[in-house]
């Protein structure tokens, strides 16, 4: 009799100490379905546990030093800086212009060569007539 009472008291103390274990066991399947809800047969189903209670349970588990595997994956951080779009575009245009100016002598040489070849073809065509 004393042994049963001691077990009951010990179980009560453990339950009081870790009340989140029962809740976690109860909602384990539900939490695994997603953070906000899930699609089932083409219809959106919200979780049976509210967001407030879910957050409270998550906090209790983390404070106890346990792992909480039900958080969604984090998205990658955006690396683009803030600012005006016109400033970014004008900077890109200036950089592109610098690249083109570096290629300019070769482009002019190609243009002159094409123009010269065209002129020679026209002269050959006139001579053949």
pLDDT tens-digit series, residues 52-76: 888 888 898 888 888 888 888 888 8
pLDDT at 47 over 70: yes
Provide CB contacts within 8 A for 33, sequence distance 6+.
47
Integer CA distances (angstroms), 89 to 6, 63, 81, 94, 96, in order: 75, 48, 13, 9, 10
Model-level pTM?
Answer: 0.45
């Amino acid at each position: 009799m004393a042994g049963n009472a001691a077990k009951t008291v010990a179980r009560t103390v453990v339950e009081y100490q870790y009340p989140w274990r029962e809740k976690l066991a109860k909602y384990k399947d539900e939490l695994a379905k997603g953070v906000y809800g899930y699609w089932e047969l083409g219809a959106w189903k919200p979780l049976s546990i509210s967001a407030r209670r879910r957050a409270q349970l998550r906090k209790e588990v983390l404070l106890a030093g346990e792992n909480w595997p039900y958080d969604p994956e984090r998205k990658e951080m955006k690396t683009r800086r803030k600012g005006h779009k016109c400033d970014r575009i004008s900077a890109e245009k200036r950089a592109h212009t610098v690249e083109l100016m570096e290629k300019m002598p070769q482009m002019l040489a190609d243009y002159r060569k094409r123009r010269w070849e065209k002129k020679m073809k026209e002269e050959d065509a006139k001579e053949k007539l």
